[in-house]
Amino acid sequence: MLQQQNEKVYCAFVLGDTEGRKIAGALNRSPSTISRELQRNLVKGAYSAHEAGKLYRLRRKRCRPAFKLDNKGLRQILQSRL
């Protein structure tokens, strides 16, 4: 979700829309998308658009595949065959 949409989710959460149905309609998103967003990014029972963005970037960074030549054994095999 975009940062702007995260802020709208935050506003709805603060106003008591803990399921996200109202905000889902306003953002033209599925209620389950908003529900997952809230579950994924609640920190100590509170939702923050800023924290949601930070958590997104952290998860995105972690999901990338490792660079294969970081494996010393594989690097040595490749270098010996070149």
Q: Return the domain boundaries, the chain.
A: 3-62
| pLDDT mean over 43-49 | 82
Task: Decide if 49 contacts 42 (C-beta within 8 A).
Answer: no
Q: Of 63 and 8, which is predicted with more confidence?
A: 63
The answer, yes or no, to whether residue 8 has pLDDT greater than 80, is no
The answer, yes or no, to whether residue 36 has pLDDT greater than 80, is yes
C-alpha distance from residue 14 to each of 17, 26, 33, 38, 46 (Å)? 7, 16, 18, 12, 9
**pLDDT of res. 40:** 87
* Torsion of the alpha carbons at 21, 23, 27 and 29, rounded to the nearest 10: -30
| pLDDT mean over 53-77 | 82
Integer-rounded Cα Rg, in Å, for the chain is: 20
Cα–Cα distance between 57 and 55 in angstroms, integer? 5
Q: What tens digit of pLDDT does each residue of 12-33 get?
A: 777 776 667 888 888 888 888 8
pLDDT band of 1, cuts 50, 70, 90: low
